[in-house]
């Protein structure tokens, strides 16, 4: 029996703000492309993209969530927040919730980046910027999607998508569709 290994597309972004107008359609797009979704499993962008993904009926992939062992304050995870209700495969890492710096990237950010075939980056703060740095360091295909001013603090300037159609073209290029 052949095993189908669907590509894993990571979506990273804010845990505070959902950016639903960007995250929800990205989740649907990934599901409709027959891929697995990977997020950090928390709130904000992670919840909105996983909801968009799981709303697609008869999809092939699953919503994978990479959870930290503890929350950002070093406390036990809040079961209401982690994993969000749309994560189908929660995976707890024994790694720090936050990367200390780009030179010492041993956090779930590294797991997120290295597990993903490609990454769609939505607006976020330090953790999201760290994931962009790691993706560039490891030559992972990456596209940033959201309002231009949301990426001002990002030191790198990878590929930018202005519309969901641009994200779709990016995925087509990555997946060879």
The answer to whether residues 95 and 111 touch, using CB atoms and an 8 Å cutoff, is yes
Measured CA to CA in angstroms, residue 22 lies from 76, 92, 162 at distances of 30, 26, 10
Question: 31, 4 in Cβ contact below 8 A?
Answer: no
Q: What is the pLDDT of residues 8-29, one digit of tens each?
A: 999 999 999 999 999 999 999 9
The pLDDT value given to residue 103: 52
| Confidence class for position 130, pLDDT limits 50, 70, 90 | confident
DSSP code, position 1: -
Q: Strand 89-92 vs strand 63-67: parallel, antiparallel, or unpaired? A: parallel
Q: Is the dihedral of CA 156, 162, 164, 167 positive or negative?
A: negative
pTM beyond 0.85, yes or no? yes
93-107 residue pLDDT tens:
876 545 555 555 567
- Please state, in angstroms and rounded to a whole number, the distance separating the CA atoms of residues 138 and 133: 9
Domains defined along the chain, listed by start: 8-175 (3.40.50.450)
Measured in residues, the chain has a length of 177
């Amino acid at each position: 029996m052949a095993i189908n290994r669907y590509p894993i597309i990571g979506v990273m972004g804010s845990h505070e703000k959902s950016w639903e107008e960007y995250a929800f359609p990205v989740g649907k797009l990934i599901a409709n492309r027959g891929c697995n979704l990977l997020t950090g499993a928390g709130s904000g962008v992670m919840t909105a993209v996983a909801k968009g993904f799981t709303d697609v009926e008869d999809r092939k992939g699953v919503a994978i969530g990479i959870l930290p062992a503890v929350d950002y304050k070093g406390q036990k995870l809040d079961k209401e927040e982690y994993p969000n209700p749309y994560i189908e495969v929660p995976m707890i890492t024994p790694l720090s919730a936050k990367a200390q710096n780009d030179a010492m990237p041993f956090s779930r950010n590294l797991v997120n980046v290295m597990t993903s075939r490609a990454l769609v980056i939505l607006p976020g703060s330090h953790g999201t910027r760290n994931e962009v740095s790691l993706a560039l360091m490891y030559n992972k295909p990456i596209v940033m999607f959201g309002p231009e001013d949301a990426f001002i603090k990002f030191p790198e300037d990878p590929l930018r998508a202005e519309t969901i159609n641009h994200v779709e073209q990016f995925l087509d290029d990555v997946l060879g569709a």
